[in-house]
Amino acid sequence: MTLHKNILVTGGAGFIGSTFVAQSVACGQRVIVLDALTYAGHKENLTWIKPENYKLVVGNIADGALVSSLLQEHSVDAIVHFAAESHVDNSISKPAEFIETNIVGTYILLEAAREYWKKLSAQKKENFRFLHVSTDEVYGSLGAIGKFSETTAMKPNSPYSASKAASDHLVHAWFATYDLPTIITNCSNNYGPRQFPEKLIPLMITNALSGKDLPVYGDGKNIRDWIHVEDHCAGIALAIEKGKVSETYCFGGNAERANIEVVQGICRILDTMRPNKSGAKYESQIKYVTDRLGHDRRYAIDDTKAQKELGFTRKHNFDSGLKATVEWYLANRK
């Protein structure tokens, strides 16, 4: 597998992006991280990586001049685009930020990439890749059976997922119209170390330890498929190096769980690892709250294509992965 040597990673100080950066530098790749360091992006997410192995540039993907200068200065041969507003609740209350970052920002990034790519030598043009990281939420909601795949029609139901679907369409259009060598990946829910505590798993861990309510939307039976962040990032690396230009690849965890099951599992782990001083079980803190607007009922991904074409495999089992994630948060309360 021929490695791209110089990679620009947008959103590389975030949860998933920083994991990808770590895996890339471990493979000997040179990584330039472009991150606006908004509330969910932190320099601390990168401090566990040797500083000489990556360069952090604080800036916005909507700054086309900055992106262009980074591409040229560092002879970038691949862009991996993680940067996005990603929390559904925030998209419901502040949709404009999602339109600006996820749609307009992606457009500006694509244009900077296209202008840079046009000037490369024939060999470098052929080797260049623009990989756009997206989500299974663009596909909408599943019924009791079936799974999403690369051929599933998009039917987003939240401002977040609609903005991501729009950016997916833009990325494909830049290939179809301009021949920019793009690849799109869609994944199920990620979990693991360093996730910002607005998402379900870290929120429940931090709330439980702080004695706060564990808010569960609706009846708690909305189902998500969970993939460990390290498995997802390994899949992205495979897509860059082995994926076909213009194709989409889905990555799932083969780990469907109802939200209430995940929360109860976290409570049981904490009961063992960090028993409540009062003697109460952490499950006593669970509180059902009014359901989220437009809350999709079920997600699940069929990643057969990625397994067959890329050799994608998963190293993490959800139950042991969840336990290890709880352990990480216990050891890294700060």
Among all residues, which ones are annotated catalytic?
136-137, 160
Q: What is the 3-state secondary structure (H, E, C) of 117-179?
A: HHCCCHHHHHHCEEEEEEEHHHHCCCCCCCCECCCCCCCCCCHHHHHHHHHHHHHHHHHHHHC
Listing DSSP states for 276-287 in one string gives -TT---GGGGEE
DSSP code for 104: I
DSSP strands (E only) in the chain: 6-10, 30-35, 54-58, 78-81, 129-135, 182-187, 189-191, 214-217, 223-228, 248-251, 256-258, 286-289
Nearest one of 33, 172, 180 to 120, comparing CA atoms: 180
- Label residue 184 left, alpha or beta by phi (over 0 means left) and psi (-120 to 50 means alpha): beta
Nearest one of 27, 316, 48, 22 to 191, comparing CA atoms: 316
Alpha-carbon distances, residue 126 vs 2, 236, 237, 298 (angstroms): 13, 19, 18, 39
